[in-house]
Structure 1
């Protein structure tokens, strides 16, 4: 069965994408997930935890292996996502209800496999009947698929890996699509969380139609950071990176790559209080409308995520940002960070995190 996606909701999305952000900050169940796909061993969990991540997704469906990972997760205070299929009918069925589950992972890209929405809902109902207290989630490979599937599960995920084939800013488009679809299709859960799955691999490691001349590269730090914050600006309430296991190794086997994700994790952990319990407020007036911006208030301080979601420079009027202090930068002032002197410009895909008092 080929899934057909309705067209009308796409137009409703336009206002969502152009707005400050498609989501509202607020209290989150269990906090802001910052996760790695593809953890498989106790050693993996230790590495992920030390890097600053608080959860992982395991692909194994072996109940005994998952039980070991769950036990180690409790020790490390990690949460996990895993397939429920084999666990619910195993000797671990009852114990699994007390595992530190972020969410049971129902299905990987149902639209790719032409899974009817009713079948996905059956799997969700089966899982919730077995373990009603634990959340369910599934991932889509295209935000448009959410207009068929978004009514199912307690949380939604979207994976989108644009580097280098597509525009990097397309990540935000797909997150916003899923946020929009969730609000339209799930009237019972208007605050259903959406988690973004972001690229942490080189497309060259996968077979391609253009064999043997594969195209791909590993994302740069600028791209990883941009995709991370753009997902947050568009409403993502959790982040996953795909994938920790690749090419028969784990990501930390490449120290120069692993360092990038440790740095990102450090920033997100510093921002977790506002991401989890902050309140969305209006951005400063006068900013160029082409910029992507979201401002969150908590405890008398505002944090602003300001991004250039394009391949061209965008002017920035420093007067509108005179009370804002850059975070996570080597320099303290905007004119030391951005080019242009008195006429500041945001370079393509540049990301700024700024802070000010009320």
Structure 2
């Protein structure tokens, strides 16, 4: 039997989203959620069963009840094995079709291992609970799931396919109202496309300005430091995104209406610690009392959770860090999924500029190369991010090679600044990938592209997301467009019968400009 840390259930209630607290009259559809009644023969809680088939030669999974210190309820601990039996099932009844349900439970893990999360299956959907960042303490998790065509009876499955211990307790499944529509509350939008960096210091500002950055974030939230930063950024023509995670009235009023304020950075990956969405809403409202349209921003890794936090901030800085273990298109995936919940005007990207050293133990064995950082940057632009930040100054600056590469990219963005403020436009083109390398890991074309237009000028951004060379045709240019000009190089690409045929090297980015009469 394992003894774990105490968790006060009242504190759990405070961490739940507003929709949960507003659904108190809806019954919990999960039977025996506290695992009080136990079948003596199987050792399993009544109304719960294992789903396992003993297989000779396959390592056995484990499922067992654990007492949580200071709590009457129990946890079910799951350890996956080769027999794929680290899963438990509960029968549900009374499900209404095409209805939103909220699944809530407490999650615990003794250690954090990147990529190891509980999985939930219900209504014919599988959800990975990858917002569970905490370890050695209980974290409340919630998932909003629509029942689709499911009606009446179905099953709920908790599954751990990994050999590490993952546990859950106090599960609840209740019908809830549909999510609140996206807020149209206006906020102070940046006058120029933000190109910023996390972890800036007072001493770094001259260098950052010279490199081409126009915005900085500082984690130091001491009031005197923030005042000094606010004065300093004004001298260098920079915008500041100060760390402001609790309401300080005097400082809010002092900074909130400064022309050099980009906004307030009010939380860092709140979904990973189950920070209450309502607490962010309250902080945002307090800041708005002092500065009616001040921008608030949070970093967020799990784009599906933007739906739960969309009332709590104006801007979401999506921060997938894929190098070296994930495809670079994770950046594109995050933006596209988040854009299902809020407009792209509210989405900025955070590009990885760190790795190795102290980050090795957490899965980031090395920094991105210049080419990888460039691909991540331009993928963010192609998929409609309205700002780009880099994480972070201390890590990037500690490597001459990384810093040289990063400042080179930022210099390019400075050249493109007029175009960055122009939204992407639905393009008239048809892309044909040519053998042998044609698709990314999700089966999409290996070249991601975006098209911008401003009066008679056009901009075309092309990104090869593979570490292999690719060839393609892009058709749809009107007859009057005879060639495209590389944005930086004295090279032209000729059109023939309305298309271009080009090659891109591994992780190559190409930017073209041309004129087209309207």
TM range (shorter): 0.7 to 0.9
- Report the RMSD for the aligned CA atoms in angstroms: 2.8
Residue 295 of structure 1: aligned partner: 451
Contact kept in structure 2, 1:84 and 1:106, CA below 8 Å:
yes
How far 1:32 sits from its partner (Å)? Answer: 0.1
Give the stretch that moved more between structures: 304-313 or 257-266: 304-313
Q: Does 1:351 align with 2:509?
A: yes
Q: Is 2:35 the counterpart of 1:35?
A: no
Write out per-residue CA displacement over residues 5-31 of structure 1, whole angstroms, 9 at most, x where no aligned residue. Answer: 54799xxxxxxxxxxxxxxxxx96321
Which has the larger Rg?
2
Aligned to 2:256: 97
Question: What's 1:67 paired with?
Answer: 227
Name the structure with the higher helix share. 1
1:164–1:216 Cα contact (<8 Å) kept: yes
The Cα of 1:218 is off from its aligned counterpart by 1.4
Q: Secondary structure at the match of 1:197?
A: strand
The structure with the greater share of residues assigned to strand is: 2
Distance between the aligned counterparts of 2:424 and 2:380, measured in 1? 17
Q: Which residue of 2 aligns with 1:53?
A: 213
1:157 alignment partner, SS class: strand
Assess, with a 3 A threshold, how the Cα gap between structure 1 residues 115 and 60 changes in structure 2: closer, same or farther: same
User: Alignment partner for residue 412 of structure 2, among 254, 258, 267?
Assistant: 267
d(CA) in 2 for partners of 1:182 and 1:215? 29
- In structure 1, the partner of 2:491 is 332
2:470 equivalent in structure 1: 314
Which of 252, 255, 279 pairs up with 2:397? 252
- Equivalent of 1:227, from 371, 376, 386? 376
Contact 2:429 2:475 in 1 (8 A): no
Partners of 1:296 and 1:303 within 8 A in 2: yes
Residue aligned with 1:265, SS: helix
- Is the CA contact 2:323–2:364 (under 8 Å) kept in the aligned structure 1? no
- Residue 167 of structure 2 is matched in structure 1 by none
Correspondence 1:142-181 to 2 at 5 A: 142-181=302-341
* Equivalent position of 2:179 in the other structure: none
2:346 corresponds, among 181, 188, 193, to 193
Could you tell me whether the CA contact under 8 Å between 1:144 and 1:177 is conserved in 2?
Answer: yes
Per the alignment, do residues 215 and 28 of structure 1 end up closer, same or farther by CA in structure 2, a change over 3 Å counting?
closer
Match of 2:460 among 288, 304, 312: 304
Offset at 1:320?
A: 6.6
Mapped contact 1:52–1:266 kept (Cα < 8 A): yes
Paired residues, number: 317
The answer to whether the Cα contact below 8 Å between 1:6 and 1:147 also exists between their aligned partners in 2 is no
* Runs (5+) with no aligned partner, structure 2: 1-139, 149-187, 434-443, 495-499
SS in 1 for 2:350: strand
Matched, 1:141 2:297: no
Tell me if the contact between 2:430 and 2:475 (Cα under 8 Å) persists in the aligned partners.
Answer: no
Residue 123 of structure 1 deviates from its aligned partner by: 2.1
Which one of the candidate residues 208, 224, 230 is aligned to 2:361? 208
The answer as to whether partners of 1:139 and 1:156 remain within 8 angstroms in 2 is: yes
Q: Is the 8 A contact 1:52 1:265 kept in 2?
A: yes
For residue 202 of structure 1, give the secondary structure of its aligned residue in structure 2: coil
Contact 1:137 1:157 in 2 (8 A): yes
TM-score, normalised on structure 2? Answer: 0.56
- TM-score, normalised to structure 1, is 0.80
Are residues 311 and 39 of structure 1, via their aligned partners in 2, closer, same or farther at CA, if it must alter by over 3 Å? same
The aligned counterpart of 1:118 is: 278
- Whether the 8 Å CA contact 1:61–1:86 is kept in 2: the answer is no
